[in-house]
A and B are shown apart, each in its own frame.
Chain A
Amino acid sequence: MRRDHLTALENESVYILREAFGKFANLAMLWSIGKDSTVLLWLARKAFFGHVPFPLIHIDTTYKIPSMIDYRDRLVREWNLRLIVGRNDAVLAAGATFPAGRATRVACCSALKTDALHGVIDRHGFTGIIVGVRRDEEPTRAKERYFSPRNQAMEWDVTDQPPELWDQFKTDFAPGTHIRVHPLLHWTELHVWEYIERERMPIIPLYFDDGTGQRYRSLGCAPCTGRIASTARTVSDIVAELRTTRTSERAGRAQDRESEAAFELLRRDGYM
């Protein structure tokens, strides 16, 4: 008897979530309201038998597509979640953002997401942060570990990562540093949607064609996130579309294309 591959993926992620919960006294999960971190939230409920035994962090750039916030607040109520909202008020007040202010796209991402996350981690003393990144999204994420250390300045030292073998993860770390935990690392975009379909999971409707012949494939801030041409109106439609697509998932994310190493530089500084 053997399990289908979606169950195998789920088993691995559940194992990782339980390891993280057992090892980090002060643990939180990043929730962007997008498909990946919502699947992650669902997997946490699988791992902990319906409970989510740690807070969720939502980094609010204030530029998010508005219906994302309504959707977030509804699930928080319905699923009885603890939510921490992080925001970089100083930069927002100074107006140093893209496109209205003087910031480039990358500088804006760095200030509104990375710095805001840094603030939340410092304030709450989190030592473990669960993040829904996947290897297939982007080439520097393809080099990530399941348990990935960040130093006191939140930087990722990509040239000196810890060994990781046989599901023995890096759980020892120096004071002031933290570990990013990546339970979805081995999933693909197609897996995520097939799993949403199998589980009949709720998902934010921005991913569907709203009648304009366009949909979001990846969710981010309104000024930097484009839609793709698509008539997919259901989860099954999206699954069918992804089985034949030849474009990459983050093609609609403009900040990645500012320079050849733009995304690597963002991630080295602590971006998700």
Chain B
Amino acid sequence: MATGSPSRLARRAVTSSAGPSGERLRLVVVGHVDHGKSTLIGRLLHDTGSLPDGKYEQLAAAAARRGVPFEFANLTDALQAERDQNATIDTAHVGFRTARRECVLIDAPGHREFLKNMVTGAAAADAAIVIVDAQEGVREQSRRHGTLLKLLGIEQVAVAVNKLDLVEYAQAAFERIAGDYTAFLAGLGITPRAVVPISARFGDNIAARSARTPWYAGGTIVDLIDAFTVPRPAVDRPLRLPLQAVYRFDHRRILAGRLESGTLRVGDRLLFLPSGKQSTVKTIEQWHAPARRSAVAGDAVGLTLVDQLFLGRGEVASRLDDAPSTTSRFTARLFWLGRQPFRTGRSYRFKLATQEFDGEAVAITAVTDAATLEGPAAPGDGGLSASEVGEITVRTRRPVVLDPYDRVPHLGRFVVVDGLDVCGGGIVLDADEAGALMPATSANLTRPVGYVSCERRQARHGHRGAVVWFTGLSGAGKSTLAAALERELFARGWEACVLDGDNVRVGLSADLGFTAADRAENLRRVAEVARLFAEQGLIAITAFISPSRTDRLRARQILGREGLDVPFAEVYLSTPLAACEARDPKRLYARARAGEIGEFTGISAPFEPPDHADLVIDTSAVGLEEAVAQLVEYLAPRLAVS
């Protein structure tokens, strides 16, 4: 029987001893301030015999020296400030084991001021116990924490109604609070696994059934912990491998990252987004481990590819037929922790898997008070304040790769950085199709049959098809170099043709003007035509300023669509503005300076240089002949028929 003097309690229900370590359940205890979270954890540690010898006696002696009663909470409230205030400030992780399993208990603070610490603790958990005071009932943080558990994706939730000793172990008091809070959770879509009446201070229904709650037929807290499960890695979800880095410590070029979902084997064909590049897994590299040919979700891996692709951090590998969305608009549910409110029209830094990008909310469509679930209400002018939850539409500066949270959680959640600090977290509700560059999955992977095959065309031409996409300022030398390259390739007996403004604008795009939308559409058409040429085994050379990263990325994706495997070479003519302006063959710069032409790239409209061009040539520093030689040197091995 539990008594008020814990030191006399027998360690009977469970023992902490023995056995190899194993899989650990991570369990967070949340709830309103002073409802007894740390006390429950201290009691669990004590009653399961998880404390080192002498630890209880040491803390009891310390409390006696300070002239205060011993508190179980002091086992995790390790900071002096926490002991002084009898309140948890920051989250603590402590290990313990029941007779059946190993567990990490995560103590989370209940004070609103320390919500960021509660989120930190809860985000690391597999399961949660929300603790509610039997005397005080459901309070603001009880509800807010429940809402955050849902947003953080914690699916296993149970409730402990604590301090039953203060209501004389009355069933009615328990039933009322259990009913209130279960109804609140139902509004969130959470059904608690159990609701347990406890007194953490006196040990009722913690490790052993209490005789003081004969009306309660359910299990103890320890029973509850034993019934939770550790979630499986997401092996059944689509393959997602966000690249952390590409290493070249030795002769190997190794793509490093964690396989967040799915499974991977040597020989698998991978699509990398946002670049749209493709290759095949050649090896899975490891140090001091047996050779392996496969990896599963959760594995930190290193890959080499059959092709030498230029890839960097932030690219996401997937299968060709099951790719994530690439988009510059998405909707999300965001919880905010920052001291300054989250506002529309302000640029923030987002971190999603290994991607980092700038973006802004173009709309905050709903704000829910996480503590009452009232709303969704239209937001006021104040944006999203600390501890509020809102639905937002984000526009990003460059295309990002993501999934809705429900589809692939690891690619569907992000944090928001304001200044130097993480100030919020969110889950992706939907990738905006209008902003998507390519459909998330290609519905029709079959390609027309019955035509002359790609292989036979290649055999006749003696080379593969390709697209050489020039980009650069007006006057950078795109048309000149495209024409010279065409002549050189033709002289070598290769089939090449140039697409530029002169031959595209008169017919194919005769219906288009020069608005931003029309320019983008013009480039889309050019990319589609270039793709058709390349499919026939021709080398399509395009010469357009194409100042937008998004437009160039879309061209690359159009070429790689449906698994078409032909090289796309983005060639950046980096000739400086001053040199281009000095050339000014059509006097366009002069007219732009005079204000006769609006939105002129380099003068009154931006040029977004490529981060990862396949080739960079500055025609003010390199002569025409040398530039053509560099291009041929780059193309020749890539166009060889294997």
B413–A166 CB distance below 8 A: yes
List of B residues within 8 angstroms of A45 by Cβ: 287-288
A11–B298 CB distance below 8 A: yes
A191–B21 CB distance below 8 A: yes
Residue in contact with B337 in the complex, picked from A5, A46, A163, CB distance below 8 Å: A163
Q: Which of A154-197 contact B (CB under 8 A)?
A: 158-159, 161-166, 168, 170, 172-174, 186, 188, 190-191, 194
> Does A248 belong to the interface (CB within 8 Å)?
yes
> Does B95 belong to the interface (CB within 8 Å)?
yes
For residue B337, which residue of chain A has the nearest CB? A163
Q: Which of A51-108 contact B (CB under 8 A)?
A: 51, 53
List of B residues within 8 angstroms of A186 by Cβ: 93, 104
Residue in contact with B302 in the complex, picked from A49, A188, A243, A248, CB distance below 8 Å: A49
B247–A48 CB distance below 8 A: yes
> Does B450 belong to the interface (CB within 8 Å)?
no
> Does A247 belong to the interface (CB within 8 Å)?
yes
List of B residues within 8 angstroms of A163 by Cβ: 116-117, 119-120, 337, 422, 425
B245–A170 CB distance below 8 A: no
A15–B80 CB distance below 8 A: no
Tell me the complex Cα distance, A237–B300, Å: 30
Residue in contact with A19 in the complex, picked from B76, B244, B289, B419, CB distance below 8 Å: B244
List of B residues within 8 angstroms of A7 by Cβ: 299
> Does B123 belong to the interface (CB within 8 Å)?
yes
Tell me the complex Cα distance, A49–B283, Å: 13
List of A residues within 8 angstroms of B373 by Cβ: none
A246–B422 CB distance below 8 A: no
Tell me the complex Cα distance, A261–B65, Å: 14
> Does B62 belong to the interface (CB within 8 Å)?
yes
> Does A8 belong to the interface (CB within 8 Å)?
yes
> Does A238 belong to the interface (CB within 8 Å)?
no
Tell me the complex Cα distance, A170–B420, Å: 8
List of B residues within 8 angstroms of A125 by Cβ: none
Tell me the complex Cα distance, A174–B419, Å: 10
A173–B420 CB distance below 8 A: yes
B123–A165 CB distance below 8 A: yes
> Does B553 belong to the interface (CB within 8 Å)?
no
A15–B18 CB distance below 8 A: no
> Does B311 belong to the interface (CB within 8 Å)?
no
> Does B256 belong to the interface (CB within 8 Å)?
yes
> Does A216 belong to the interface (CB within 8 Å)?
no
For residue B152, which residue of chain A has the nearest CB? A165
List of A residues within 8 angstroms of B254 by Cβ: 49
Tell me the complex Cα distance, A183–B300, Å: 14
For residue A7, which residue of chain B has the nearest CB? B299
Tell me the complex Cα distance, A163–B80, Å: 21
Beta-carbon contacts of B534-573 to A below 8 Å, as 1s and 0s?
A: 0000000000000000000000000000000000000000
A22–B415 CB distance below 8 A: no
Tell me the complex Cα distance, A11–B123, Å: 18
Tell me the complex Cα distance, A162–B263, Å: 33
Q: A159-B89, A163-B119 are in contact. Are A170 and B78 (CB under 8 A)?
A: no
List of A residues within 8 angstroms of B23 by Cβ: 5, 8
A140–B287 CB distance below 8 A: no
Tell me the complex Cα distance, A135–B425, Å: 25
Q: A46-B287, A48-B247, A165-B120 are in contact. List 13 more A-B contacts (CB 8 A).
A: A2-B232, A45-B287, A49-B285, A51-B249, A143-B78, A158-B89, A164-B422, A165-B123, A170-B422, A191-B21, A246-B17, A251-B52, A264-B80
Give the B-binding residues of A (Cβ under 8 A): 1-3, 5, 7-8, 10-11, 14-15, 18-19, 21-22, 42, 45-51, 53, 135-136, 139-140, 142-143, 145, 158-159, 161-166, 168, 170, 172-174, 186, 188, 190-191, 194, 199, 239, 243-244, 246-248, 251, 260-261, 264
- Between-chain CB contacts (< 8 Å), 26 pairs: A2-B233, A2-B298, A5-B24, A8-B23, A18-B245, A18-B256, A18-B300, A45-B287, A46-B288, A46-B289, A140-B79, A143-B79, A143-B91, A159-B90, A161-B90, A162-B116, A163-B337, A164-B123, A164-B422, A168-B414, A168-B422, A239-B20, A246-B53, A248-B52, A260-B62, A264-B79
